[in-house]
Chain A
Amino acid sequence: MEKIKIIIEKGGGDMSIKDIYNPKSLKEAESIGNYLYKNYKTFAYIGGGTDVMIKINNNSMPVDYLINLRGIPELKKVKSIKEHIFIGSMNTFSDLQNIKDIEKFGAVCDCIDTMGSPQIRNIATIGGNLINAAPSADSIPALMVHHASLKISSLNRQRTVKCTDYYKYYEDNKLKKEEILTDIILTKFNGVSGFYKLGKRNSLAIARISCAVYFEVQSLKIQRFKIALGACGKLPYRVYEVENILNGKNIDSLYSDEVLEALQNSVMDKLKNRSTMPFKKEAVVGVYKHACERALNRLGEKS
């Protein structure tokens, strides 16, 4: 077995970070993480760092060591195998724009286009956005409606979790200290999707509320309808009540009173007495309609 030499140097002075490792392979990164974990060192894996660095600077993430994953080629690879696309977790949002066939995932394209700013999109990684698990994370609703899966690896095991389940059962599924998200797996389906977020401005906007939808249309009937909301609670989530109403219904039911009421009830149930609830209960209708319009425009392009 290949021996990997690990050197930990103590920095001088009162530094918040004692050392940053720059492994060149996944195995090396896992070995370093395993070593630090077993020796009770506080550490974190870092991708683009746009979330981690802010947390470290405001003392909400006290770590002594960082393991930089950006230089690992395996985590930047993109592979197409039959109907699946495996996207390495260290691909930046800008990198995602250049992936072949990404246009088949309309909601993902929409969120790539509006996330952060050009500067942020050049650094922030899809993996970091997912693992940071912010309530307003742009990529999570878009990936949820596309049945994305997350491939997670550590020195001793690998696991694959559906994106929806990862956040639905977050405390059980969230990344363990020594684990690394390696790939996001997308599956090509025949439907269309759209994502829309409401922010305070056009760019550099944290979502106040976001929505992603996916559906297929056969003989004017909606099939496989999926909807996910973001920034409406602790974590993004699928709205099964609306999915159950719409599947099998005629396409002109997309904006029916029954659907919109179920959507609003979902927001009220999630947010309960929070001060933002009255606003978001109304805003979700507009955000949902915008997401559907983007998907419908793609349907028009297909036919």
Chain B
Amino acid sequence: MNYISIKVNGVLFERAISSDMRLIDFLREEIKLKGTKEGCSEGECGACTVILDGKCVNSCLIYAAALDGSEVLTIEGLKKEEIHPIQRAFIEAGAVQCGYCIPGMIMSAKALLDYNIDATEEEIRKGISGNLCRCTGYEKIVSGVMLAQKYIKEGNFNG
């Protein structure tokens, strides 16, 4: 057993967990945040991407017991009074088909735009290069991220 204190979407969780529990298991099974999806379990698809201490990571490749004192942001943590500009942009750009890759894709986009709001198209493609999508062919996802840049710069959102 390991005892951890971890902040998820701004809420502090103090739990005793089994040592081999991965972060994705902690999120989905322990605190019932089902938005983060499991794809490959090997860090190859990016469906499980969350933001850990400000950086995008594969939650399937991290033991929760190693994260005492850390902060995690999941897809559920993006929305405040209204949906996040990235979520709005993805919808408007038609970037969502089956939707399974989208939570991870959005978290990678958020991490990228938090780091560099002026990312070029090439940098956007590189920033989401760890997220696989079998549906869209990526073009509308890239358009969605570029639209999100515009919305974030306009600044008229809460949260």
Contact = CB atoms under 8 A, between A and B. Distances in A.
Interface of A: 9, 11-13, 15-20, 22, 46, 48-50, 53-54, 56-57, 66, 68, 70-71, 94, 116-120, 122-123, 202-204
A120 B19 contact: no
Contact of A123 (B62, B111, B112): B62
Question: Interface extent on B, as a size class?
Answer: 20 to 34
Contacts of A12: 1
B129 A122 contact: no
User: Which of B63, B65, B132: most chain A CB closer than 10 A?
Assistant: B63
Interface stretch (B53-61, B75-83, B147-155): B53-61
B46 A119 contact: yes
Contact of A49 (B46, B66, B68, B111): B66
A117 to B, nearest CB: 3
Contacts of A66: 19, 63
Main SS class of interface, B: mixed
Main SS class of interface, A: loop
Contact of B129 (A54, A57, A117): A117
A118 B44 CA distance: 11
Given A122-B56, A203-B130, A15 B19 contact: yes
B20 interface: yes
B127 A118 contact: yes
B68 A120 contact: no
Contact of B57 (A16, A17, A119): A119
A119 B130 contact: yes
Contact of B55 (A17, A70, A94): A94
Contacts of A11: 1, 18-19
Contacts of B66: 20, 22, 46, 49, 68, 70-71
A180 B105 CA distance: 36
A192 to B, nearest CB: 24
Contacts of A204: 44, 129-130, 132
Contact of A203 (B1, B22, B65, B129): B129
B66 to A, nearest CB: 4
A119 B20 contact: no
Contact of B61 (A17, A20, A49): A49
Contacts, number: 95
A231 B126 CA distance: 24
Contact of A9 (B1, B49, B111): B1
B56 to A, nearest CB: 5
B92 interface: no
Contacts of A9: 1
Nearest to B104: A119
B129 A118 contact: yes
A53 B18 contact: no
A46 B20 CA distance: 13
A117 B2 contact: no
A15 B130 contact: no
A68 B44 CA distance: 22
A18 B58 contact: no
B41 interface: yes
Nearest to B68: A22
Contacts of B18: 11, 13, 15, 17
Given A46-B66, A71-B66, 15 more contacts: A11-B19, A17-B18, A22-B66, A49-B62, A53-B22, A53-B62, A66-B63, A94-B55, A116-B130, A117-B129, A118-B126, A119-B56, A119-B57, A119-B108, A203-B129
Nearest to A205: B129
A167 B42 CA distance: 26
